Amino acid sequence: MELTEAWVEHRRDGQPIKAFRAQPARVATPLPAVLVIQEIWGPDAHIVDLARRFASAGYVALAPDLYSRGGRPAELAPERIEDVKRFLDTVPPSAWTDPQALRQAIQEQPAPRRDHLQETVGRLFGPRDTEGMLADLVAWVDYLEADPGSRGRPVGSTGYCMGGHLSFELAACEPRLRVALVYYGAAPDATRMAHIGCPVYGFYGERDPRITDAVPDVARAMREHGKTYEYRIYPGARHAFFNDTRAAYDVEAARDAWARTLFLFNQYLGG
């Protein structure tokens, strides 16, 4: 399908923020919109490809760069993040969540790569400004409401890993959101769940205990707050099973999750 696509700029509190935007080229009427919320890596080739896939399915797709506010810092430059991905592919997955093991593996790298890895890993896996990112996402909902390509049509969100958590959190702070999809992302705390205003659907891998082990408690808390929350746990699938650029990609789980995602967006946004 021919798409109209571009990197677009918006502003929040006077600072520029950027996003990748795509939509079908030969549609003149406004379309429902999907916020495609990045993994920790930013709106990389995988996220941009997903935005194009949603656009090809008949949506205005917007993938915000949540590192762009005020300009990306050098340590979060796309080429630096890609080098971190390559490095992490060389260490055991257990090292990702073991700071000591990760530091040791980085120290074994030659300079200046060692210093660059240390800086970028520190920014990616260190404390993050979740509230600032949510404020950026709310600003992008404002953008979509004014965008001639989506004006007057509903908005939903889908997010992956860090973006899955943000999609869940956005459901608690953005009443205009019609549906939120969560791919292997953590849930908000129970007090924030009380403010969720739309249905939430989760997709998880069985071999992702850090996230998946909490899902039954999340479901219980959502029920107690009277919220709609349904989930699917894919047997044998790992964290990031939907990312077809990573070693954890699980084609069977991803195929099923994609079909369910399109069904849900059509159900909540397509009418």
Per-residue b/e over 147-156, b at no fewer than 16 CB within 10 Å? bebbeebbbb
Q: DSSP secondary structure string, 180-233?
A: EEEES-PPPPHHHHTT--S-EEEEEEEE-HHHHTTHHHHHHHHHHTT--EEEEE
List 161, 165, 198, 250, catalytic entry: 161
Q: Are 170 and 198 in contact (CB under 8 A)?
A: no
Q: DSSP secondary structure string, 254-268?
A: HHHHHHHHHHHHHHH
208 is catalytic: yes
> How far is residue 244's CA from residue 225's CA, in Å, rounded to a whole number?
35
239 is catalytic: yes
List 65, 147, 239, 250, catalytic entry: 239
> How far is residue 13's CA from residue 72's CA, in Å, rounded to a whole number?
16
161 is catalytic: yes
List 44, 136, 208, 250, catalytic entry: 208
In eight-state DSSP terms, residue 76 is G
Location of structure tokens 């082990």: 213
Q: Which of 224, 164, 172, 220 is nearest to 199 (CA)?
A: 172
> How far is residue 182's CA from residue 236's CA, in Å, rounded to a whole number?
19
In the chain, count of helices (H) and strands (E)? 10, 8
Task: Point out the residues that are catalytic.
Answer: 161, 208, 239
